[in-house]
Amino acid sequence: MAANPKSKTRNQKSVVLGVTGSIAAYKSAELAGLLVKQHHNVFVVMTADATEFVTPLTLQTLSKNPVMTSFFDEKENWRPGHIELADNADLLLIAPATANVIAEIAHGLAGHPLTAIALATRAPILLAPAMNGKMWENAMTQENVEKLKSRNVEFIGPEEGMLACGYEGIGRLWKVEDIAFRAEFLLHRHDRLIA
């Protein structure tokens, strides 16, 4: 990765924004823009499926940093970029978070950079789920959510409304402005805890 997560001003925080393969992935562009407006150094990490909904170039332009989509993005450097991001993150925010990525994190899987960062980071983690309501309410998903909450992973949403699949119900990505506000709160809370 060309950008250095350590090159930030004193008050600037490093936010790793994870984007997964949900139809709501297009909203990550607005979220990246809001985080940059809050003066954070934003590093976007996308799953392969997420790139089908929004382009890495869009998120690179908005975040002003390279976007990581696979372990092969790290070829330029001997040091694993995903570990550097994990080490330097002040917050890992995954929005949208699919049922699949929630399950991967809950079970400690690290098959792509985003879940590897989740496994390696010591920063707070905030997940903003987005999926079909039946998937969200499924007992397995709820077990994974409870397992992550017991490990101090924070959740925001999902909310109720019309879903992309045509159903009305719970599963919509929480409002982007509220996700950015919650991220800001967690960054300040983390500052107070380590002060």
Positions marked catalytic: 165
Distance between the two ends of the chain, CA-based, in angstroms?
30
- From residue 50, alpha-carbon distances to 18, 34, 53, 126, 146 in Å are 10, 19, 5, 18, 25
CA dihedral 65, 40, 95, 177 (to 10 degrees): -130
Burial of residue 41 (number of CB atoms within 10 Å: 0-12, 13-18, 19+): buried
CB atoms within 10 A of CB 57: 10
Cα 193 to chain centroid distance, Å, stands at: 22
Characterise 41 by phi-psi region: left (phi > 0), alpha (psi -120 to 50), beta (else): beta
- DSSP one-letter code for 101: H
